[in-house]
Amino acid sequence: MHEHFEHKADIGIRGTGNTLNQAFEKCAIALTQIIADTNTIQPKKSHIIELTGTDNGALLVSFLNELLFIKDKKKMFYSKFRVKLGKETIVDEKGNVKEMVTLKATCFGEKINRNKHALRTDPKAATYSELFAGEKNGTFIAQCVVDV
């Protein structure tokens, strides 16, 4: 399930699922729904996004902002997402060992067509406001506020 939630000046987005992967996928759909009706976006082309972050929340914000960047740079909309989250241990230049979280998302969509896709709002960025990416009461949730 994906949904929008009320926020004073911007738009809150939330995705829920049986796994955190599903919650991220639904949150990406909620982001796209702000911009256009995802039912009009055909999954004709795929694009892979790979990111690393310090925690799941930071990774969610990076993922959503990458989708906005691709929309602006490559003029692509996505309506279907396959997300796989993981963990990676890295050693920095000082020899410190760090646990990082990883995301590999396959995004399916098509080029923006203003005649086909009824455009709505053009968000500026996903933010850390009301950020949550984890489990509550047996449901996985990915949410944040989007600056519009």
At residue 106 the predicted structure's pLDDT band, cuts being 50, 70 and 90, is: very high
Is the dihedral angle over the CA atoms 49, 92, 126, 114 positive or is it negative?
negative
pLDDT higher than 70, residue 94: yes
| pLDDT for the residue 6 | 62
| pLDDT for the residue 73 | 96
For the ranges 14-18, 71-75, 92-96, 131-135, the lowest mean pLDDT is seen at 92-96
Q: What is the pLDDT of residues 53-87, one digit of tens each?
A: 999 999 999 999 999 999 999 999 999 999 999 99
| pLDDT for the residue 92 | 85
Structural domains in the chain?
2-147 (3.55.10.10)
